[in-house]
Amino acid sequence: MGKKRKARVFMTAVFLLAGLVTGMATAQPKKYLVSSPEAKLHLEPDGRSPVVAVAPRGAILTQASAVRFRHNWIFVYYTVPERNKTLAGYVQESVLRKLFPAVNARLIHSGQETSEPRELDLNQEIKFPYLWGMSREKLEAVEGPPAGVEKSGETEVLQYQRQIMNRNCLVEYVFVQNQLSAARFFILDTFVDCAYYISDFQKARDYLIQRFGVPVDDRTIWYDSTYLERKEYWGKALGSGLVEFRSSWQIGDTEVELILTGADNRVAFVAECVGQKYKNYFSR
């Protein structure tokens, strides 16, 4: 199989990992993903203050206060799965990424809740001739002008709305120094029953296992085991932030991570794909 064909096959699988975001037009994001090698939680909003905890890359932090301290510090909660203990502290916003993305108004879905969503169409053939490192100009030549653009220093995020596998999706392409470095996928549909998000996660996970093998990391994390033995309430547990699902793969030169989490009856199913060569850009 040639290099370009492998890339197309990989990107087809990647689009199955659409992130699920509900209620995006209302509340501000309340969860963050640690995008640097680590995030230090301090006792006070000061780098010289004692460190309360150290959260590793990929950890999820929950915003505890909407107030910014000294402009770039956020007060957060961090639940340590291994210790089943929640700690609080101040962290610099620069080492975090919002788990619920900022969405251009033109990309907001109608917000109408779906009680019985259609099945994921795993047979849909999708070809994506994109390679890590390609320029924004080359991507736009294929995808067209983006519906939204976010800029921060040398980083640009292009947003598109697409219908993929029977889901209304927000697609984000991340360019660093005008090189395609990462891709993120979010579903804009809103499901009445959060259990449907779990079903989609499991189907996407099973499909990827069939295509790429066992995940290098595969966990279901219960922060409160109240509903652990009652599967009919797992959707409720997800929306309440009591359980989290995570799976990740190393596929050639790409790191793929799925995270399904929730809070305040909002759900985020995030699929983030990062080119191995560009990983350091997201760790600065």
The domain that holds 72 is classified in CATH as 2.30.30.40
3-state secondary structure of 55: strand
Average pLDDT over residues 224-243: 92
% of the chain beyond a pLDDT of 70: 78
Same domain? For 151 and 236 the reply is yes
Same domain? For 85 and 113 the reply is no
Same domain? For 35 and 117 the reply is no
Same domain? For 81 and 140 the reply is no
DSSP annotation of 282: G
The separation between the first and the last C-alpha atoms of the chain, rounded to the nearest angstrom, is 35
The yes-or-no verdict on residue 67 having pLDDT over 90 is no
Using CA atoms, how far apart are residues 262 and 21, in angstroms rounded to an integer? 9
Predicted pLDDT at 19? 39
Using CA atoms, how far apart are residues 13 and 124, in angstroms rounded to an integer? 11
pLDDT band at 111 (very low <50, low <70, confident <90, very high): low
Same domain? For 10 and 64 the reply is no
Using CA atoms, how far apart are residues 97 and 103, in angstroms rounded to an integer? 14
Using CA atoms, how far apart are residues 261 and 242, in angstroms rounded to an integer? 9
Predicted pLDDT at 135? 95
DSSP for 90-112?
A: EEEGGGEEESS----GGG-----
Residue-wise pLDDT for 172-188, tens only, equals 999 999 999 999 888 77
Q: Could you tell me the residue range of the domain that residue 15 belongs to? A: 3-23+101-283
Predicted pLDDT at 225? 87
Same domain? For 156 and 145 the reply is yes
The yes-or-no verdict on residue 8 having pLDDT over 60 is no
pTM as predicted: 0.74
- Which of 64, 80, 98 terminates a domain? The answer is 98
Average pLDDT over residues 72-88: 83
Same domain? For 203 and 254 the reply is yes
Using CA atoms, how far apart are residues 165 and 118, in angstroms rounded to an integer? 9
Using CA atoms, how far apart are residues 156 and 158, in angstroms rounded to an integer? 7
Nearest Cα to 17, choosing from 282, 203, 149?
203
Contact 19, 31 (CB under 8 A): no
Same domain? For 126 and 77 the reply is no
Same domain? For 188 and 212 the reply is yes
Number of folded domains that form the chain: 2
Structure tokens at 177: 């120094």
Average pLDDT over residues 152-157: 85
- Which of 98, 119, 145 terminates a domain? The answer is 98
Same domain? For 48 and 111 the reply is no
Same domain? For 162 and 278 the reply is yes
Using CA atoms, how far apart are residues 188 and 111, in angstroms rounded to an integer? 8
More confident residue, 126 or 135: 135
Using CA atoms, how far apart are residues 186 and 17, in angstroms rounded to an integer? 8
Average pLDDT over residues 71-78: 86
Structure tokens at 115: 């009680």
Using CA atoms, how far apart are residues 91 and 53, in angstroms rounded to an integer? 10
pLDDT band at 80 (very low <50, low <70, confident <90, very high): confident
Q: Which residues of 83-102 are buried (b: 16+ CB within 10 A; e: fewer)?
A: eeeeebbbbbbebbbbbbbe
More confident residue, 192 or 124: 192
- Which of 66, 98, 130 terminates a domain? The answer is 98
Same domain? For 116 and 91 the reply is no
